[in-house]
Amino acid sequence: MSLPPLKTRERLSEVRYEIRGELARRARELEAQGRQLIKLNIGNPGAFGFRAPEHLQRAIADRIDRTDPYTHQQGLPAAREAIAAHHKRRGTPNASPERVFVGNGVSELIDLSLRALLDPGDEVLVPSPDYPLWTAATILNDGRPVHYRCRAEDGFVPDPDEIAALVTPRTRAIVLINPNNPTGASYPRAVLERIVAIAARHGLLLMADEIYDGILYDGARFESLAPLAGELPCLSFGGLSKVHRACGWRVGWAVLSGDPLASGGLHHAMDLLGALRLCANVPGQFAIEAALQGDATIEALTAPGGRLHATRAALVEACAASEHLDLVTPQGALYGFPDVVGPAADGFDDHAFALEMLECEDVLIVPGSSFNVPYRHHFRVTLLPEAPVLREVFARVDRVLARRAGAAKRAVA
């Protein structure tokens, strides 16, 4: 007897996460056949030979005998104290351990906070392009993502006037990803101040995804949103995954700042949801204090002569040398978001291009449309491989684009 297929949630059909989707599944099939791939789809430092700093590893190892029990649903007290102190040094108002939530990575806390905030049909203003979890988590918590454009001609910096025009009576929050994934944009203070003013005018929650806050290049500056928000409720997200190269530890945090009376209901809701999942991973939490009070080890990697700086330079040089690519130079984070231009862009489809790069050139990239943009002529790569590897990747990219450009010219002739 054959059983009917189980029905799954309909709203999942609206969710995309191509970073680990169909192309990544095909990549695993090719690897099983013995193909050697260059996989640039995920910002996963450990997969490229990076290690979490030794003093963070030691902080966990020295306390491993204290990691067996559950801890408080908001996190270890010492870890929350270290996070609150870190935010106080930035000027975050009302930053206190009681208003810090530690989670299994920022991803869990994004989902948890939106679940605490949204009723069915509520709207969240999300950047386009975005890190697709933000759109997905809004949808899966019965909200409606409303995308505001971050355009290449503006350096992928949002336009506050466009954000203001999208606010409706159902809008509950504005999401900012700064420094940005996938574009590498770092937002100017003046732009952030105008967005804060919009949130204040309409009583909106600010949600600041700042997981890349320490990854900056060539003098670019990071502006933390919470100090600018003042007494306005703001959730600031950070963690160990990127700046401290410890993705697998799954350690993230959210700091609820601003007027405690205005955000008391959200605090209670997040605490309740955190209690329902008992607590976050305990061992990794012992590294938080060491990470936030120790040396900023990321700076040696992002400064001239550092590995990330060199790979970013290789990306910039490769795009500048290509007649088929434009690039807004990333100021921060771990990614580049090149734009295909010229004859190669005629009839261009980013997913078909990514599949061709995988099948024919053994390179896994992410189509730009995966980041909730309406156009299909961008793709994302990570800056984590060594510079020579990225140069080789873009030699292969140029080879494929040259073939496409040649075919487009022949079709016109």
pLDDT tops 80 at residue 411: no
Judge whether 404 and 396 are in contact, CB under 8 Å: no
Domains and CATH numbers, the chain: 10-51+300-412 (3.90.1150.10), 54-293 (3.40.640.10)
Q: How many percent of the chain have pLDDT more than 90?
A: 91
- Residue 107's pLDDT is 96
User: Across the strands, what pairs with 363?
Assistant: 38
Residue 182 backbone zone (phi > 0: left; psi -120 to 50: alpha; other: beta): alpha
Residue of 296, 365, 361, 299 whose CA lies nearest to 336: 365
pLDDT tops 80 at residue 199: yes
Average pLDDT, the chain: 95
Rounded to an integer, what distance in angstroms lies between the CA atom of residue 265 and that of residue 71?
23
Question: DSSP H helical segments within 277-386, as ranges?
Answer: 288-293, 299-302, 307-321, 350-361
Residue of 274, 262, 279 whose CA lies nearest to 203: 262
- Residue 405's pLDDT is 87
Q: What is the mean pLDDT of residues 99-118?
A: 97
pLDDT tops 80 at residue 255: yes
Query: CB atoms < 10 A from the CB of 226, how many?
Result: 26
> Look-up: residue for tokens 């994934």?
181
Identify the band that residue 14 occupies on the pLDDT scale cut at 50, 70 and 90. Answer: confident
Judge whether 174 and 125 are in contact, CB under 8 Å: yes
For the stretch 176-210, what's the b/e string if a residue is b when 16 or more beta carbons lie within 10 angstroms of its beta carbon? Answer: bbbbbbbbbbbbeeebbebbbebbeeeebbbbbbb
Query: CB atoms < 10 A from the CB of 147, how many?
Result: 19
Q: What is the mean pLDDT of residues 218-231?
A: 96
- Residue 145's pLDDT is 98
Taken in order 187, 190, 191, 197, the sign of the CA dihedral is positive
Interval 256-306: pLDDT, tens: 999 999 999 999 999 999 999 999 999 999 999 999 998 889 999 999 999
Interval 68-108: pLDDT, tens: 999 999 999 999 999 999 999 999 999 999 999 999 999 99
Interval 352-409: pLDDT, tens: 999 999 999 999 999 999 999 999 999 999 999 999 999 999 999 999 999 988 877 7
pLDDT tops 70 at residue 412: no
Q: Which structure tokens are listed for 21? A: 């989707």
Q: What is the mean pLDDT of residues 155-164?
A: 98
Rounded to an integer, what distance in angstroms lies between the CA atom of residue 230 and that of residue 49?
40
